[in-house]
């Protein structure tokens, strides 16, 4: 490839390396859902993944690629979500220090989970500037390596292994659908589809309340999110600079859905599949429901990105 995108070999190598540290998650289907949609859908259950989300794939890959010297210094990130847990867990498993800058308003359950993995948590004001300042300070003081949640080729390569696994676990898929926030999972899925199942098209689902990927995709250049607001709290971030060219080249389409459509799709998954997914996970399925008429007769694989949801605060 005439660019510096992760290669087919990079993804194969990453998958081999991270396999001892992650689950090969099951692929499930529901005849009731197939009947309702009038097409065949399979779900790659990354909600069953370690730490409850696909993020552990990228974090593990990034940690395993560190030199021994870098490992001694540790790793750092800022996040209030699944990436924080993924970094903390990978650090624990590999016995290296981790420093996580978290906003003061992060749910206590998430802060405790990160602390439970032995990471050092640095609290900051709940805004991007404070998070970046906090991160820069800890990196300066400790020499820890900052691992970006999505704008990083090692992360994209790690996330790519979910779609690679899905492709290996099923018959040929007409489409793979994934959510898009920063674009780590989407860019990775697009690369895996290109390398391992070149006839499979990639379609992204995005919340209408955080539709910077949709806007950017159609404009042909990056347009950052402006006051994103959606129940899909894992998809609030804007697409990364490294992710966007991969998405432009290998993604077929981006479909946006309202929060109502996301909640309704989420409920359908809970009720019919009997599995727990977080709102962000339901975004590609909500998108599929919206465009199902155009995909008749094709087999669709959906990556369910995670299942970390506060059971006391369900939207239904």
Question: Which residues bind to a copy of itself, rule: CB under 8 A?
Answer: 26, 28, 31, 45, 47-48, 50, 52, 267, 270-271, 273-277, 307, 311-312, 314, 316
Question: Is the four-CA dihedral 36, 42, 45, 46 of positive or negative sign?
Answer: negative
Which residue number, 31 or 95, has a Cβ lying nearer to a copy of itself? 31
Cβ 39 to a copy of itself shortest distance, Å:
19
Residue 20 DSSP one-character state: G
Which residue number, 179 or 228, has a Cβ lying nearer to a copy of itself? 179
Nearest to 170 by CA among 27, 281, 288: 27
Which residue number, 43 or 214, has a Cβ lying nearer to a copy of itself? 43
Pairwise CA distance, residues 103 & 107, whole Å: 9
Which residue number, 206 or 278, has a Cβ lying nearer to a copy of itself? 278
Pairwise CA distance, residues 187 & 244, whole Å: 8
Cβ 142 to a copy of itself shortest distance, Å:
29
Cβ 84 to a copy of itself shortest distance, Å:
17
Pairwise CA distance, residues 204 & 196, whole Å: 18
Cβ 108 to a copy of itself shortest distance, Å:
15
What kind and span of H or E run contains 69? helix 68-73
Cβ 304 to a copy of itself shortest distance, Å:
9
Cβ 281 to a copy of itself shortest distance, Å:
10
Distance of CA 26 to CAs 44, 55, 69, 170, Å? 6, 16, 36, 11
257: helix, strand or coil? strand
Q: Euclidean distance between the first and final Cα of the chain, in Å?
A: 47
Which residue number, 13 or 270, has a Cβ lying nearer to a copy of itself? 270
Which residue number, 221 or 274, has a Cβ lying nearer to a copy of itself? 274
């Amino acid at each position: 490839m005439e660019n510096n995108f992760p290669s087919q070999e990079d993804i194969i190598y990453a998958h081999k390396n991270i396999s001892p540290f992650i689950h090969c998650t099951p692929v499930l289907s529901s005849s009731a859902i197939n009947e309702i949609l009038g097409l065949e859908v399979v779900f790659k259950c990354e909600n069953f993944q370690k730490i409850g989300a696909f993020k552990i794939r990228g974090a593990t890959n990034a940690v395993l690629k560190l030199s021994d010297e870098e490992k001694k210094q540790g790793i750092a990130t800022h996040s209030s979500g699944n990436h924080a847990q993924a970094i903390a867990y990978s650090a624990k498993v590999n016995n290296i220090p981790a420093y996580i800058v978290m906003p003061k308003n992060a749910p206590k359950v998430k802060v405790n989970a990160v602390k439970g993995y032995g990471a050092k948590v640095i609290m900051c004001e709940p805004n991007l500037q404070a998070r970046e300042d906090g991160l820069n300070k800890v990196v300066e003081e400790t020499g820890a390596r900052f691992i970006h949640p999505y704008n990083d080729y090692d992360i994209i390569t790690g996330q790519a292994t979910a779609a690679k696994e899905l492709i290996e676990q099923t018959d040929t898929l007409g489409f793979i659908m994934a959510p898009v926030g920063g674009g780590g999972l989407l860019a990775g899925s697009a690369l895996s589809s290109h390398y391992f199942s070149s006839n499979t098209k990639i379609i992204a689902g995005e919340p209408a309340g955080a539709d910077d990927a949709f806007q950017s995709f159609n404009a042909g250049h990056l347009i950052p999110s402006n006051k994103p607001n959606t129940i899909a709290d894992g998809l609030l971030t804007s697409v990364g600079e490294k992710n966007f060219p991969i998405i432009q080249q290998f993604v077929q389409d981006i479909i946006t859905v309202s929060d109502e459509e996301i909640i309704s799709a989420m409920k359908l998954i809970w009720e019919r599949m009997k599995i727990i997914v977080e709102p962000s996970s339901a975004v590609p399925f909500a998108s599929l429901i919206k465009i199902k008429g155009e995909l008749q007769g094709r087999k669709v694989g959906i990556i369910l990105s995670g299942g970390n949801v506060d059971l006391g605060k369900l939207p239904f």
